């Protein structure tokens, strides 16, 4: 099963390419962002580029093992196509419905396995951290996340489906964390390690 996808962006050269994943059994959203540093971007500054996004979907009528196999296949295909160097996954939340929680956990396990098979480091973020990065508010709605991603990432339209938008927000959350860590490290190096 092929994951749904946006048209590919032009290759951006060396940079940090991150795959964000929003696990779900019916639809696992994915989004690929690249952070291109000042030495690489044409403007001499960091640029954030959307390489692609979409969702790997499964049919509810299929047996569970087949649904999980299709999710794994789709995520492996996304990893192979975009060659990320890091993966950011939204943590599972505690659902009121036990069945929903188990299904999300199974989809999340497939996402972690696909990343591990590719030898990629995985970073996990809570839903509130992801929404905070996208909207500046840890309890933003799906529509707010989609619209803020459109604005922050310079997209013509809000990313669809919502699962893909959540995956892009997860990748954005990770890149913002990595950017902050790099700035702290650079400031420490400039001060000679003095507090």
Task: Phi first, then psi: give them for residue 164, nearest 5 degrees.
Answer: -70, -40
| 68 within domain boundaries | yes
Retrieve residue 114's tokens: 């696909």
Number of folded domains that form the chain: 1
What strands lie across the sheet with 16-22, from one edge to the other? 47-57, 27-36, 16-22, 86-90, 122-125
Supply the residues annotated as catalytic.
22, 90, 163
Of 172, 189, 185, 180, the closest CA to residue 86 belongs to 172
Of 173, 187, 183, the closest CA to residue 48 belongs to 173
115-161 pLDDT per residue, tens: 999 999 999 999 899 999 888 877 778 899 999 999 999 999 999 99
179-195 pLDDT per residue, tens: 888 778 877 777 765 55
Min mean pLDDT across 3-7, 15-19, 84-88 is at 3-7
In contact, 90 and 21? CB cutoff 8 Å:
yes
CATH number for the domain spanning 135: value is 3.30.420.10
In contact, 89 and 170? CB cutoff 8 Å:
yes
| 25 within domain boundaries | yes
| 10 within domain boundaries | no
| 195 within domain boundaries | no
| 2 within domain boundaries | no
| 6 within domain boundaries | no
Task: Please report where in the chains the tokens 């890091």 appear, as a residue.
Answer: 86
| 7 within domain boundaries | no
Round the average pLDDT of the chain to a whole number and report it: 86
Over residues 58-71, the mean pLDDT reads: 96
| 65 within domain boundaries | yes
pLDDT at 186: 79
Give the model's confidence band at 114: pLDDT under 50 very low, under 70 low, under 90 confident, else very high: very high
**H helices then E strands: how many in the chain?**
5, 5
Q: What range does the domain containing 57 cover?
A: 16-190
């Amino acid at each position: 099963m092929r994951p749904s996808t946006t048209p590919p962006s032009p290759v951006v050269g060396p940079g940090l390419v991150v795959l964000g994943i929003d696990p779900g059994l019916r639809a696992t959203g994915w989004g690929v962002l690249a952070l291109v540093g000042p030495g690489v971007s044409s403007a001499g500054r960091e640029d954030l580029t959307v390489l692609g996004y979409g969702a790997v979907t499964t049919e509810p009528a299929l047996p569970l093992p087949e649904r999980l196999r299709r999710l794994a296949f789709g995520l492996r295909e996304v990893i192979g196509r975009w060659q990320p160097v890091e993966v950011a996954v939204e943590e599972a939340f505690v659902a009121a419905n036990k069945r929903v929680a188990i299904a999300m956990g199974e989809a999340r396990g497939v996402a972690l396995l696909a990343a591990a098979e590719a030898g990629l480091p995985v970073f996990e973020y809570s839903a509130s951290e992801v929404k905070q990065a996208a909207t500046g508010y840890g309890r933003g709605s799906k529509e707010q996340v989609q619209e803020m991603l459109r604005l922050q990432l310079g997209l013509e339209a809000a990313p669809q489906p919502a699962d893909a938008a959540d995956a892009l927000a997860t990748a954005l959350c990770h890149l913002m964390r990595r950017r902050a860590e790099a700035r702290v490290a650079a400031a420490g190096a400039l001060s000679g390690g003095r507090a």
